[in-house]
Amino acid sequence: MSAINRRRALTGSAAVALGVPVLAACGGGSSGSTAVDPATSDGSSSPAGGGSSGDALASAADVPVGGCFVVSSAKIVVTQPTEGDFKAFSAVCTHQGCLVETSSDGDIPCPCHGSTFSLDDGSPLSGPASAPLAAVEITVDGGSITRA
């Protein structure tokens, strides 16, 4: 009788263990208003962020035409001003260092104080930021975008 109870107990434990949901990582997306080191946000230094040459940044399908996609982990924003034309910039706002946001509204917006930047060249379109986002070299191969 106790063997049956033990088996039931084990079966019950296994069911509980199998019932634990697997947490999936959230892929990419907006970074919100996360501030980063302002020392790297003056636009005069190399682009902020981690990663190195050859690192996969995004799928081309992630980047809306006429919009941008922020790769938070690399602090890079990839834009597609016109279909099939991809560019990338530091995602660190040159005003006070917030990360810009993913958008499909024709510019690169910063959520902190409302600056917007050009999808084409990272130049500021509206303040308070007055310096451009630093360009980042990328390679587009098929549907994959990597750092050059």
Q: Which is nearer to ligand FES, 41 or 80 (CB)?
A: 41
Task: For residue 34, state whether it binds ligand FES (rule: CB under 6 A).
Answer: no
Q: Which stretch binds ligand FES (CB under 6 A): 22-30, 74-82, 94-102, 139-147?
A: 94-102
Contact with ligand FES (CB under 6 A): which of 113, 121, 123, 143?
113
Q: How near is the Cβ of 114 to ligand FES at its closest, in Å?
A: 6
Q: Which is nearer to ligand FES, 112 or 140 (CB)?
A: 112
Q: How near is the Cβ of 132 to ligand FES at its closest, in Å?
A: 13
User: Which tokens in the block code for residue 46?
Assistant: 């190399």
Q: What is the 3-state secondary structure (H, E, C) of 27-90?
A: CCCCCCCCECCHHHCCCCCCCCCCCCCCCEEEEHHHCCCCEEEEECCCCEEEEEEECCEEEEEE
Q: Which is nearer to ligand FES, 32 or 114 (CB)?
A: 114
User: Which tokens in the block code for residue 67?
Assistant: 């919009």
Task: For residue 8, state whether it binds ligand FES (rule: CB under 6 A).
Answer: no
Q: Is the CB of residue 50 less than 8 Å from the CB of residue 60?
A: no
User: Which tokens in the block code for residue 19?
Assistant: 């019932």
Q: How near is the Cβ of 67 to ligand FES at its closest, in Å?
A: 18
How many residues touch ligand FES under the rule CB under 6 A: the total is 12
Q: Please tell me the distance from the alpha carbon of residue 42 to that of residue 55, in angstroms, as a whole number.
A: 24
Q: Name which of 19, 23, 35, 138 is nearest 91 in CA terms.
A: 35
Task: For residue 132, state whether it binds ligand FES (rule: CB under 6 A).
Answer: no
Residue ranges in contact with ligand FES by CB under 6 A: 93, 95-98, 110, 112-115, 128-129
